[in-house]
Structure 1
Amino acid sequence: MTHKEPVTPSSIPLHPDVPLAPVLSLDSFRQITQSPMPCVLDVPHVRLVTSGRIALGLALRELGVGEGDVVLLPAYHSLSMVPPVLWLKAEPRFYRVDAGANADMEDLTTQCDARVRVLVTTHYFGFPQNLTVLRAFCDQRGIALVEDCAHAFFGAYQGKPLGSYGDYAIASSMKFFPMYEGGVLISARRSLDAIVLVSGGKGFEAKVVLATLERSFSYGRLMGLKAPLVLPLRIKDWLWQRIKVGQATSAPLAPGSSDSDASFDTAWLDKSTSLFARFLLARLSKTRITGLRRRNYQCLQQTLRGLPGCRPLFATLPDSVCPWLFPLLVDDADAVFARVRAMGVPVVRFAETLWPAMDIERCVNSRHLSRHVLAFPCHQELNEQELNWMCAQLLKAIRP
């Protein structure tokens, strides 16, 4: 589908249930043979783990972070970034960002003392930070740089893949691929041979496949497989309920898949991503993923261009960027959020809740971004009807 004109609400009669994240379908396996955009898997040393937060914990452990050390984190952050620091008995220290979510170098200079061991930088929504400046900052002070590529599985900075500038980088494959779990730890500078991963077990492998397919069914994908899997899915649900009430075992079959909570289950530190996730990483066209995400982002951008009371967080979409979501700065964000939720439009308020121990008044930009950025899906598995309907509803919500 090609959108040459902004979408209007009048021609979208149905109310599809739009997936917030990619869901597996037959179209997922469609191959596009053009050269793909660089991605974190292009970096020399790779370990496939179960989540981005697990990857961050491993990176900090490999860097020798421990009690008394300080890890610099952005004040605009996911809650999941902090527990890996606390797990190692280190101190998270938050640095400011500017109005465009770029690291505030002046504040970083002020915050950096002899106890600082690591600086973590986040490529928000897939848009890179100034890695040349950040790399030089760390090298001058003898501290490590960790790139948080949870929003940026694909993309480049000055011709090199995102993730290749840091001592380590972490990514979240489940944000970009239609899978239930998955994270990546990479390094272009250090070997990862000391990190030995094992399978999460047969229960884990089975749950990942069934949960992925069940989610596809709930959005009308792969319906031909639903009937023969009714019994296995019922068994899975029964076992999951028994585990939840503690009647079978205290160990979960799979890690939690929330992007925003503060959980950190160390039982998954030595576990590799599932065989099914590996299969999808190897089989799905990366060119299709990046091309459709960019096209859907541009459709949203064109549809919402010029509307009063809002503007894209990023003015342009550079050729080297593959977006996670479409982030929109909205003046009356609470009211618009309530309207789009009532309409059934999927929406994310990234960093809506910031770490409670952080002084939120220190960084007015982080507070503003957490309250005023509404982000909408632009992933590759949106079909034409879903994308058009979502665009139409956003027009109604923003100019009611």
Structure 2
Amino acid sequence: MSSSSDALVAGSIPRLPTFGWHALRHSRRLPLPTVLDLPHRTLTTSGRAAIVLALRVLQVGPGDKVLVPTYHCPTMIAPVTACGATPVFFPITPSGDADIAWLERQDTRGVKAIVAVHYFGLPLHFAPLRAFCDARGIAMIEDCAHALFGECDGRPIGAWGDVAIASLTKFLPVQECGVLASRVLPVPALAGASRSFAHEVKSGIDMLEIGCRHGGLPPFGALLDGLFSLKRRLRRTQLTTATETIEAPPEDTQWLDAALIDTPPTTVSRWCIRASLRAAVIERRRANYQRLSALLADLPGAAPLVPDLPAGCAPYVFPLLSERADERYRALRASGLPLFRWDWLWPDTPHIPGDHGNLWSKQVFQLPCHQDLRDADLQCIAATVRQVCQTWPA
């Protein structure tokens, strides 16, 4: 990758980590705890599959209610309805925490569980919510899809919930993988069939293809990338993976692939997780977040949602709060910059007075800050955002 931001275009920046020799270097000793440290755990194909399995562990089913935040990706809500339960939405505060005062005023009869989310990889304060749940006999699903590493309120990430889920594709260079884990409850092994040999091979090739495309496998990467480019031209297809695309769902999109719920992840994904789980993942993410915070500190009509990165966390993305959000978001997407926002909310998500969930769904842009971004990438991101903010002033 070029060392100059002038030589980069926004569309060349990977949204998620990519595989390369760099993923296998340095010490793997971690400076922060991870959800993968919890004593009971099983790997799944995705975070959404892990939520389904979490609901099973908690015996949530038809007739039950599950509290879910108004600020969400629909993949968080689909598992609730898939098991026959009813989602009940609660508001969030300006910090992203559950609005405990609002929850305490509600009739919680029939509520079996709550989904509590660490947004953007920045751990929230779950001690008050844990006390609320304990007082009412409500189980907590700690959603760590954005927070694979970290601590909050004196406990490791994932240890506040009765069960926890995480999404490893957001932090490590794998094509698929989530985890269901718990500090206290047994987690059953998956009963589905293993992936076919052909699928295993395709998964490995896709991982190599994306790594080569972003310069991660020198000196062989250029040759391999040429072969992969020829393959794409011959087949007239484009590689479509979570790393290279931003979900833009059409109407009636199915948010949950039922066939993959009980299926274990590929062998190559499990190997890659073991090989790439290392300290540099955390250190680079923190450094990239802080660099973006400095580069985007004085934007017109926009500001970092959390400018000062808390200690004890590894961020998933850099959240930027923007005015004139629709115009700016369209312009940034058109530039090819791999940002996204959670503006596809579950049908009938309510507007609750004082809630920040609906506000964030439009005005919070999630910018990449993962470990495979170089300073030239960060400068390109900042320059693109700055140009759009100046074109669409507040």
If the TM-score is normalised by the length of the shorter chain, which range does it land in?
Answer: 0.7 to 0.9
Q: 1:14 aligns with which of 7, 30, 37?
A: 7
Identify unmatched segments of 5+ residues in structure 2. Answer: none
Q: What's the TM-score, normalizing by structure 1?
A: 0.86
Partner amino acid for 1:284?
A: S
Quote how far apart the aligned CAs of 1:170 are.
0.5
Closer, same or farther: CA 346–269 of 1 in aligned 2, 3 Å = closer
> Is the Cα–Cα contact under 8 Å of residues 78 and 260 in structure 1 kept in the other structure?
no
Q: Say if 2:72 is the partner of 1:80.
A: no
SS in 1 for 2:299: coil
Q: What's the TM-score, normalizing by structure 2?
A: 0.87
Partner amino acid for 2:133?
A: C
Partner amino acid for 1:120?
A: V
Q: 1:382 aligns with which of 363, 367, 373?
A: 373
The percentage of aligned residue pairs carrying the same residue is: 36
> Is the Cα–Cα contact under 8 Å of residues 322 and 363 in structure 2 kept in the other structure?
yes
Identify unmatched segments of 5+ residues in structure 1. Answer: 1-10, 242-253
Partner residue of 1:289? Answer: 281
Quote how far apart the aligned CAs of 1:238 are.
9.1
Partner residue of 1:5? Answer: none
After TM superposition, the structure 1 stretch with the greater mean CA deviation from structure 2, 69-78 or 227-236, is 227-236
Q: 2:335 aligns with which of 334, 343, 365?
A: 343
Partner residue of 1:249? Answer: none
Partner amino acid for 1:32?
A: S
SS in 1 for 2:105: helix
CA displacement 1:118-147 (0-9 Å, x = unmatched): 011010001222211111111111110000
> Is the Cα–Cα contact under 8 Å of residues 214 and 233 in structure 1 kept in the other structure?
no
Closer, same or farther: CA 309–230 of 1 in aligned 2, 3 Å = closer
Partner residue of 2:149? Answer: 154
Quote how far apart the aligned CAs of 1:160 are.
2.3
Quote how far apart the aligned CAs of 1:335 are.
2.7
CA displacement 1:154-184 (0-9 Å, x = unmatched): 1111342211110101000000011111101
SS in 1 for 2:7: coil
Q: 2:85 aligns with which of 83, 90, 96?
A: 90
| Structure-to-structure mapping, 1:105-120, within 5 angstroms | 105-120=100-115
**Number of matched residues?**
377
Partner residue of 1:304? Answer: 296
Quote how far apart the aligned CAs of 1:233 are.
9.0
Partner residue of 2:363? Answer: 372
> Is the Cα–Cα contact under 8 Å of residues 293 and 380 in structure 1 kept in the other structure?
yes
Partner amino acid for 1:101?
A: G
Q: 2:168 aligns with which of 148, 153, 173?
A: 173
Quote the Cα distance in structure 1 between the aligned partners of 2:158 and 2:367.
24
Closer, same or farther: CA 221–228 of 1 in aligned 2, 3 Å = closer
Q: Say if 2:313 is the partner of 1:321.
A: yes
CA displacement 1:94-138 (0-9 Å, x = unmatched): 001112322111222233422000011010001222211111111
Partner residue of 1:3? Answer: none
> Is the Cα–Cα contact under 8 Å of residues 100 and 313 in structure 1 kept in the other structure?
no
Quote how far apart the aligned CAs of 1:274 are.
1.3
> Is the Cα–Cα contact under 8 Å of residues 74 and 94 in structure 1 kept in the other structure?
yes
| Structure-to-structure mapping, 1:28-67, within 5 angstroms | 28-32=23-27, 35-67=30-62
